Amino acid sequence: MENKAVFFDRDGTLNVDIHYLHRPEDFIWIDGAKEAIKYVNDRGFLAILVTNQSGVARGFYPESDVQRVYDWMNAELGKIGAHLDALYYCPHHPEAKLPEYRKICTCRKPATGLIDKACARFGIDRTKSYFVGDSEADMLCAKNAGLKGLRYEGGSLRELLVKNIITDKM
């Protein structure tokens, strides 16, 4: 049986976008973000975080900080009975300060590598899945990956999902 998923961008979609966020103490949830994740959990969708993290390539923080913020997010979500099922991130950038991360890759959004990996791992049916993000790159990634794109432009993230995600068994 194929799964359905909602892919979430992080910065500017789930949290207030401060450049190169890498510490839980600097994380500020977007209005309705935790509730949006619970909404998709409760409706049988996988909730998957997909995020570009060029701060790693620029040498601002190590990859372990990306995982640490994700773990903190899940701990906070657990307080309301919600969770993210997986984290996929791109640490690369074509102009990276650190040579090991300096490359053009298939995982940096709007490329679809992060989505492709998650779909392969979880058996996700793209025709029943969504990508929620705040940027044109996110919407292009959704289109290229065969997902329905939902652009977050402010207000309650949960309300955006309630208005746009079909909640039957699909």
Residues identified as active-site: 9, 11
Residue 60 to residue 47: CA distance in whole angstroms: 27
What secondary structure does DSSP assign to 34-82, as a single string? Answer: HHHHHHHHHTT-EEEEEEE-HHHHTTSS-HHHHHHHHHHHHHHHHTTT-
Q: Report whether 37 contacts 79 (CB < 8 A).
A: no
Residue 24 gets which letter from DSSP? G
